Amino acid sequence: AQSVTQPDIHITVSEGASLELRCNYSYGATPYLFWYVQSPGQGLQLLLKYFSGDTLVQGIKGFEAEFKRSQSSFNLRKPSVHWSDAAEYFCAVDPTGTASKLTFGTGTRLQVTL
Amino acid sequence: NAGVMQNPRHLVRRRGQEARLRCSPMKGHSHVYWYRQLPEEGLKFMVYLQKENIIDESGMPKERFSAEFPKEGPSILRIQQVVRGDSAAYFCASSPSPGDTQYFGPGTRLTVL
C-alpha cells in the first residue's frame, strides 16, 4: 500500500547538536516531497520541498533534506539545533505530482534540551 | 500579505449540533484544501475545491460532511449532527494554482461534548 512513514515518534536532542529526522515513502514513482513544521497550537509551515533536480534541498531556518531514490527516503537534517526548533515535524508526499492531495506521515515530535 | 485565515480557532459543539468552519485563502489563491488531524496523528486529506467547484472529495466522509467555496466569501466546511469522533483539528490550505505549494492556516480545533 502507498504510505509515508516517519519511524521516530519522539526525538530529544541537546541544543547545538545535529538532527536527522527520517521519512520513508512507498510509491511506484518518485512523488513530490515536503517537510512541514507545526509549533504547538499553530498551523503548518513549509520548511522545504523536492520536485526534481538536485537531491539535496535547502530550506528555511537552516534545514536541509536529501532525497535518496534507492532508499525511498527524504530525511530532514540540521547541523545545529536551536531550542526554538522544538516542534512537530511532518513529512508529506504528493504522489500524483499535482500538489492537490498531500499524504502526511504521523509526525516526529522534537524536544530540545538546554 | 495576510496568510490563510481560519475561524473560529476553537469551536465547541454538543453532539447532534452543526459545526461550520471557515477558511479565507491567501490573496490571489483560488484553490483550497481541507485536512483533518486527529489526536496523535498526521493530517488526512479531505477535499480540494476551486471557486464554485469541488475538484476532489475522496477524503470526505460520505455522510454529514460537506464543503463549498463560493464565488464570493470564504470556503466553508460543514459538519452536520456532530459526534464525539469528529473532535479534531481541521486545517485549511490554499495555493495559487494546481501543483503549487500549499500554505496552511492555523486550524480550527473542534471539540464535541
| Percentage, residues of chain B above pLDDT 70 | 99
To the nearest whole angstrom, how far is the Cα of B6 from the nearest Cα of chain A? 10
d(CA B7, CA A32): 30
Q: Give tens-digit pLDDT for B31-70.
A: 999 999 988 778 899 999 999 999 999 999 999 999 999 9
pLDDT range class, residue B15, cuts 50, 70, 90: very high
pLDDT at B1: 52
Q: Kindly tell me if the per-residue pLDDT of B22 is higher than 60.
A: yes
Q: Kindly tell me if the per-residue pLDDT of A41 is higher than 80.
A: no
Helix (H) or strand (E) holding A77: strand A73-78
User: Is the previous residue joined to B106 through a cis bond, with omega within 30 degrees of 0?
Assistant: no
pLDDT at B6: 96
Q: Give tens-digit pLDDT for A68-113.
A: 999 999 999 999 999 999 999 999 998 777 667 888 999 999 999 9
Q: Kindly tell me if the per-residue pLDDT of B108 is higher than 60.
A: yes
Beta bridge partners of A26: A3
Which residue from A44, A99, A107 is facing B91, i.e. has the nearest CB? A44
Look at A102 and B58 and tell me if their CB atoms are within 8 Å: no
pLDDT range class, residue A29, cuts 50, 70, 90: confident
For range B22-36, the mean pLDDT: 95
Give the DSSP letter of residue B86: G
d(CA B58, CA A102): 12
pLDDT at A21: 98
Look at B33 and A100 and tell me if their CB atoms are within 8 Å: yes
Residue among A99, A84, A10, A7 nearest A49 (CA): A99
pLDDT at B66: 97
* CA-based nearest residue in chain A for residue B34: A101
